[in-house]
Amino acid sequence: MLFNSLEFAVFLPIVFLLYWFVFEKNLKLQNLFIVVASYVFYGWWDWRFLVLLAFTSLFSYGSGLLIEKYRDTPRKAKTVNVLNIVVNLLILGVFKYYDFFATSFANAFLGGKTDGLLLKVILPVGISFYTFKALSYSIDVYRGKLEPTHDVIQYLAYVGFFPQLLAGPIERAMNLLPQLAKPRSFEYEMGVDGMRQILWGLFKKMVIADNCAVYVDRIFSSYQTQSGSTLLLAAIFFAFQIYGDFSGYSDMAIGVGKLFGFKTMRNFSFPYFSRDMAEFWRRWHISLTTWFRDYVYIPLGGSRCSKAKIVRNTFVIFLVSGLWHGANWTFIAWGAFHAVLFLPLILIGKNRKYKNTVAEGRLLPSLKEAGQMLLTFILATIGWIIFRADSIGQAWDFMRGICSPSLFSRPDASGVTGFCLAIFVMLLVEWLLRDREHGLDLSGIKSGAVRIVAYLAVLFMVFALGGHAVNFIYFQF
C-alpha cells in the first residue's frame, strides 16, 4: 500500500479511529492491533511475503530471549547472536543478492551462461529495512544495551510497524520498544505536527519526485542523443527526485507515526544544505548511516585506529552501504565514490567540522557557505548519476556527455517550468525552516489563518502540479 494511494487514504483514518477509540484502554490489544494493521498494510502488496516478515521477526525475537538466557555463558550468547545475523543476512542475500552474484560469477567464469543458476525470485518490498531492524535488536541485546522484550506482540509491532515497514526509517528497538511498552495517549500538538509532516511529504513525493521522474526517465533512456546541458539538467533533477522521493516517504512515515503517538527517528535533515560531504552524510538517510556506524564502522575500529585501518573502515562502510541499496555494480561504485570523497575529511580530522545548522541565526549564507553548499551538491549529484545509471558504462558515458561542448547549448527544458517552480518553493521553505524538523513545521506562526492558507497552498500545489504516481524508489531496496 502506498502512502500516496487512495487505499491508504481509507486505511489510515479507519486504523486511527480504531486505535484510539476501540483499543486505547488495553495496551496489549492496542499493540496487537498495530501488528494486524501492519500485516494488512504489507499483505496488500503480496500476502505471501508475510511469512517471511513473521519468520524474521520471530527468529530475532527468539534470539533475543536466548541471548538473555545465555547471559552467563558468553560463548553461547555469541553463537545465538551470530546465528541470528547469519540467518537474516542469508534471507536477505537469497532474495536480494543471489541472482546478482550468480550473474557476475557466470559473466566472469562461465562465459555469461546462467542456465539453471538463477533463482529469479521477487524481491520482497522493504526486506532490507525490516531485516536491519531485526539485526540491530539482537546485537543490542547481545551488547547488553537493551533488555530483550518478553512480549512477542510488542516485538512484532516493532519490526512490522507499518509506517516504517516499506522504506524506513530503520528505527532502533531502543527507541521504539519502550514506547510500545507503555500506555500512549493522544497529544494534540504531536498529532497536528504529524499531519503537517504528512502533507509536506506528499508535496515532496507527488510534486517534486514524480515530476522529476518523468523527465529523468526520458533523458536517461535516450542519453546518447541528448546534449550535455540536457544531461546535466537531468542529473540535477534526479538529485531532487531521489530527495523528494525518499525524504518525502520518510516525512510521511514519521508523520503517521506521530498520529499514533510514536516519536520515531529523523531520517533527513535538509542534506542539500550541507557544507561538506561529511555533513551531507550526517543529514542524508540518517537511520541507515547511523546503523552502519554503530554496527559496522565502530566494531571495525572506527576512526580511532591506524590510518590504514581508517581507510579500510571507511571503504568498508561505504561499499556495504552502496550494496545495501541494490544488487548492481553501480551501487558499489556509488559507495566507493563517496568513500573517496569522505576519506580526505576523516584523515585530516575535519569530518565533524560542521555540526551546526548552516548560517545559524542569519537569513542568508555567507559567500563561502554558499560555495561550499554548491560544491557539496555538485559532488552529490555526480554520485547520483552513478546511482541512477543502469551500468557503470552508462554512468561514464553520461558524464562524458555532460562534459561535451553541447554543455553550453540550450537544454531540452520542455514541460519543466511547473516543477522547477516547485523545487524553488521547496528549497526556499526548507531553507527558512532549516532549524526545524521538516519543511511544514509552522508551529512558530501564531496566526491560525496564515497556517491554514499555507496548508491550502501546499495542497493546491499537490493538486495542480502533482505528477502521475510513480513508485517510491526506495521500495526496491
Partner 1 sequence: MKKFLLKTLGFAALVLVLAFGLDWLICRGLLKMDDYRFRDYSAMLKGGMDNDILILGNSRGKSHFDTRVIDSLSQKQSFNLGIGGYPINAQLLKYHLYREHNRKPALIIQNIDYMTIRVMSDIRHQHESEQFFPLVYDKVMRKELRESGYGFLELNMPLYRFFGYQQVIKNGLMEALHIKHYSRPSYKGFLPEIGQWNGSELARMKPENVVLSEEGKALFEDYLAQCRADSIQVVLVNSPLYAGAREKLLGYDDARVYFEQVAEKYGCLYFDYTDTPECQDTSNFVVSVHLNDRAARAFSETLMEDLKSRIIIE
Would you call the peptide bond into 178 cis, given omega within 30 degrees of 0 as the criterion?
no
DSSP for 226-281?
A: S-HHHHHHHHHHHHHHHHHHHHHHHHHHHHHHHHTT-------S-GGG-SSHHHHH
Instruction: Say how many Å lie between the first and final Cα of the chain, rounded.
Output: 16
Q: Which three cell numbers stand for residue 109?
A: 567464469
Query: From the CB of 181, what's the least distance to partner 1, in Å?
Result: 22
Nearest to partner 1 of 122, 449 (CB atom): 449
Do 253 and 129 touch, CB atoms closer than 8 A? no
Query: From the CB of 453, what's the least distance to partner 1, in Å?
Result: 11
> What secondary structure letter does DSSP report for 441?
-
Binding site for partner 1 (CB under 8 A): 6, 20, 186, 188, 191-192, 195, 418, 452, 455-456, 459, 463-469
Per-position b or e across 196-207, b if 16+ CB within 10 A of its CB = bbbbbbbbbbbb
- What sections of 161-205 are H helices per DSSP? 162-165, 173-181, 188-202
Query: From the CB of 463, what's the least distance to partner 1, in Å?
Result: 6
Q: Sign of the C-alpha dihedral, residues 94, 339, 402, 472?
A: positive
Query: From the CB of 260, what's the least distance to partner 1, in Å?
Result: 12
Question: Which phi and psi (to 5°) does residue 73 adopt?
Answer: -120, 85
Separation CA 124–CA 130 (nearest Å): 11
Helices (H) and strands (E) counted in the chain, each on its own, are 20, 0
Separation CA 96–CA 106 (nearest Å): 17
Question: Any idea which residue has 546534449 for its cell?
Answer: 227
Nearest to partner 1 of 140, 210 (CB atom): 210
Do 266 and 13 touch, CB atoms closer than 8 A? no
Query: From the CB of 457, what's the least distance to partner 1, in Å?
Result: 11
Query: From the CB of 32, what's the least distance to partner 1, in Å?
Result: 21
Nearest to partner 1 of 344, 415 (CB atom): 415
Do 248 and 208 touch, CB atoms closer than 8 A? yes
**Burial of 234 by CB count in 10 Å (0-12 exposed, 13-18 middle, 19+ buried)?**
buried
Q: Is 32 helix (H, G, I), strand (E, B) or coil?
A: helix
* Widest distance between CA atoms in the chain: 71
CA atoms within 13 A on the CB side of 377: 18
Separation CA 292–CA 302 (nearest Å): 11
Nearest to partner 1 of 89, 469 (CB atom): 469
Nearest to partner 1 of 121, 452 (CB atom): 452
Nearest to partner 1 of 446, 468 (CB atom): 468
Nearest to partner 1 of 110, 459 (CB atom): 459
Active site residue 325: yes
Query: From the CB of 393, what's the least distance to partner 1, in Å?
Result: 29
Q: 150, 285, 325, 468: which one is catalytic?
A: 325
Nearest to partner 1 of 431, 455 (CB atom): 455
Query: From the CB of 21, what's the least distance to partner 1, in Å?
Result: 8
Catalytic positions are 325
